[in-house]
Chains A and B, each alone.
Chain A
Amino acid sequence: MTALIQSPLIQLSGITKTLKGQDEPRTILSGVDLTVHSGQSVAILGRSGSGKSTLLSLIGLFDRPDGGQYILGERDITKLPERKAAQLRSAEFGFVFQRFFLLKHLTAAQNVAMALVNGQGWHSRRKRKAKVLAALDQVGIAHLAKHKPPRLSGGEQQRVAIARALVREPRVLLADEPTGALDTETGNLVVDVLLSATHRGCGLVLVTHDHDHAAKMGRVLSLHDGKLA
């Protein structure tokens, strides 16, 4: 496991981001430096509106920084065009959100398969099914593959969402307050499932308000005045 943590996966240096408000621009991030290694888990704490989600959206290539440098592996992706960013989001990142964002009309398996049916490469039906079942098994709900979200509990739904994030075997798992809508016990279960992904060398960045959950991570950082400490 120690060997897995050696190589730097994400390197952010001097990242700045300013949002255009109604009155005047508001600086959210002002020179953020962050390094995440393979297999490492990082918790980011901070007040509401401190820019935690903005930082996560920059790491996940949902948005681009105004300044600074972003290196993924050995590749500078600071100013990546959208088409290539979509490819990287598919290949390198897995996302878990506070709300589960499962499609009600699809089964758990189909929701997980959504990450495979995204136009980035093609998997045969058989291969897709095997990958989906493996991902569901990884989070312990393979037996619920054919259930639709309305029939699942909050914790089960979040685990389906985690399986969706893991199904492409990403190098980085980004979780934005994944336990925010869950009770403590279920939240703990979900965090454990997320942490288990790091055992395979996956980097984990967890944004949370919960200090107990943060304490389970390898590193705990706090975002304050646009800077990580």
Chain B
Amino acid sequence: MTDFLNALLSGAGFGALYGLVALGLVVIFKSTGILNFSGGALMAVGGVVAAGLGAQGFWIAAGIAVVAVAGVGAVANLTVMRPLLGRGLFPGVMVTIGLTSVIEGSSGILFGRQPRFLADPIGVPTFQLPFGTSMSSTLAVAFGLSAAATALLAVAFRRTSVGLQLRAAAVRPEVAAMFGANPGRIFTYAWAVAGGLAALAGALLASLTVADISIAAFALRAFAAMIVGGVDSLGGAFLGGILVGVTELLAGTYLGDDFRLPSTMVVLMVFLMVRPQGLFGTPEVVRP
């Protein structure tokens, strides 16, 4: 029972991290239609940057990493992503894969190969909870930050003019442009937001485990989170992340650690087969 509850708690925490990355994927997919494979690299480089600034404490280091990686996202959009608008799935996926390579390689060249560590966001390493359960404080912070980021973004999408333009640009870029929206600038915002969210996840993961460019692989679960939640739903990305994280930790607890990643992929496959629009996404209406 304690194992079960612990798995739920940690799963929710890890899931919130996947949710952060997935949120970035959704923002980009929603506005530009590009399926971004570089979420993991953005996350990992965020972790590496934050850990490099570890002497400043978690929050300052993470803040700088978020801003820096948001910049990387914006630059990526301005240089290589923008020409791809409207060119379909394959080019976008391949360029973001190329981007992943460039980011990962550059990170090694710029920051070295040695793994780094980052302090916990708050002094207490773990929270002791009822029924003998406990939760890593970093995961609890991750959960809170992820929920807050999702809520903030959801409000921003609905209430602010940038959010409105993002939504409009997603549906009909040419119409949005007609009404004065500047899709180019808006897509840059989308990429910056995605970069920042990924970096935040990276910093949290760095303080949980270790900051190394190889943590990029963690973000694969973000794809599952994105599909489970629904590719165009922000809240869905968060809840999808939680569902994927909890599945993963339960599989890890009861089946063995090597079942963790495959279990998330099974969830992904099941959703694709049974409910491809996810929990909260809009079903695709196919009409020729």
Are A and B genuine complex partners?
no
Chain B residues engaging chain A, CB cutoff 8 angstroms: none
